[in-house]
Amino acid sequence: MAAMEIDTEKNLQRKQSTYQSLDETFEIQNETYRGQQYSQIYFARLHTMRTLLYSLVTHWKPHVPVCTVLELEEGKECIIVGTLYKHMKLKPCILDEYSKERSALPLVKPHNFMHPDDHLVLEDESGRVKLGGTVLSPSVYVTGVVVALHGKETGAGDFMVLDVLEAGLAPQIEPQLKSREDKYVVFISGVNAGSSLSNPLQFQLLVDHITGHLGDEKEQGIAAEIVHVVIAGNSVEIPLGLLNGQNLASKDQSRLSEPVQELDILLTQIAAGVPVDIMPGSNDPANFCLPQQPLNRWLFPGSRAYNTFRSCTNPHCFELAGVRILGTSGQNIDDLKKYSEGKDELEFMERTLKWRHLAPTTPNTLGCYPFTDRDPFLIESCPHVYFVGNQDKYGTRILKGSEGQLVRLISIPKFCNTGMVVVGLELLGLFHCLCAISEAFIGVEKGKLLPPVDSLDDT
């Protein structure tokens, strides 16, 4: 009797990677609100950035004197360091709603408040001065950026800017690549469970792909190389029509919790197989002001049973196998798009790194906690990967610093609109192996990866 052939299934082991959270900077622990104003966070920002810029000025223009705004002299070239303020004609103001004499203002584009008459002012503790010239473009800069300016005071009392010095990219640690194995990180944003645009089947297929329950052996082998999942905000959409100040009926209470329950079911499946970080976003049940604190773990009874489930802050910073990753759920870039101009989201992201500030428009047009002795959004160490969630489209490119820093910029699209996630090859070829997966997760071209982005047009 011939021996029976027995098919043996190949057991795939998911790869592991060391993880360290660096969210302490964004956690509000011992802060106490006593009615303090936002001037203190501006002072803390100016003090830190001015010390840094003074150290750079000695190499930038060593023979030009540095002075304060109050010490300016007409016609004398000097360098001043301070915080920019942009006077915007179309900037929304709550007082306009109560004005009795409302003039006819030009129509405002819903996505941007720029106007040709906008101008910049530089301010320090001693005073403020209006800036002139063409070197410093009001369309690029926003209120809250700290810079050093070389120029001279004119007869009209303005400061004619001849040159500008930004802080530039912060120092960057060397990535500690301990292994040459292929390991992937999945970035998702804008799931919006419970919204009319959300497709539960689409997200379930994504979960099945991540956990290795879809595809052939080759595709499951790729799934086994996913070592981390990051969900960058706007994971649920609560039906706000129910929150009208009235007591909710039992059926309405159920409707209110359904999106979170749906999300928890899917997160439980992911957390059972791979570590997952979830960040709050502007639509999620979290505090409104930045830095947003972690979503309450009791919202996720299924997911919190796993030690692989982590509820994180927004912004979120962590190290994975020695690679530093920093990102937000998108509010900082969305606000920059309203009050300045750029060709795409990646350009705004690049500016925040060069200004060494994640959210320069806080607290002017973007809400933040009134810190008294520090500004948590200052970037002290340059990340290797910088991501922003809930954007309109996918984009990526490499940003190179003057001291050899290399940063992978990633714009993550909304999953509910595009069915798209971003997969980063973190450890092997960190700066040239980022891929976008779209139809792979909704069953059209299952398991097919796009080519590395450096072989595509990054623009």
**pLDDT value for 1:** 42
Q: Note the pLDDT tens digit of each residue in 276-303.
A: 999 999 999 999 999 999 999 999 999 9
Residue range 19-29+172-240+252-432 forms a domain whose CATH class is: alpha beta
Ranges of residues in the chain with a pLDDT under 70 are 1-10, 96-110, 177-181, 241-248, 250-252, 425-459
**What pLDDT sits at residue 145?**
98
What is residue 233's predicted lDDT score, i.e. its pLDDT?
Answer: 92
Number of residues that make up the chain:
459
What per-residue confidence (pLDDT) applies to 9?
A: 53
Q: Which amino acid is at 318?
A: F
Strand order in the sheet with 421-425: 309-311, 276-279, 226-232, 184-188, 421-425, 434-437
* Distance (Å, whole) CA 382 – CA 353: 8
**pLDDT for the residue numbered 182:** 75
In tens, the pLDDT along 317-365 reads 999 888 899 999 999 999 999 999 999 999 999 999 999 999 999 999 9
pLDDT at 69: 95
Per the CB < 8 A criterion, the answer to whether 395 and 62 are in contact is: no
Q: Which tokens sit at 140?
A: 């690029």
Instruction: Label the pairing between strands 309-311 and 159-165.
Output: unpaired
pLDDT given at position 347: 97
Round to whole Å and give the CA distance between 139 and 449. 38
Which of 2.40.50.430, 3.50.50.60, 2.40.170.20, 3.40.50.300 is the CATH number of 61-89+112-165?
Answer: 2.40.50.430
pLDDT at 454 (0 to 100): 39
Q: How far apart are CA 209 and CA 220, in angstroms?
A: 8
pLDDT at 334: 96
pTM over 0.85: yes
Backbone dihedral region for residue 440 (phi beyond 0: left; psi -120 to 50: alpha; all else: beta): alpha
Could you tell me the sign of the dihedral formed by the alpha carbons of 153, 157, 159, 160, in that order? negative
pLDDT of 378 reads 97
Residue pLDDT, tens place only, 215-254: 788 888 888 888 999 999 999 988 776 666 666 676 667 7
Q: How far is CA 229 from CA 74, 116, 294, 308, in A?
A: 57, 43, 16, 10
For the chain, which residues make up each domain, given as ranges? 19-29+172-240+252-432, 61-89+112-165
- In the chain the first and final C-alpha atoms are separated, in Å, by 66
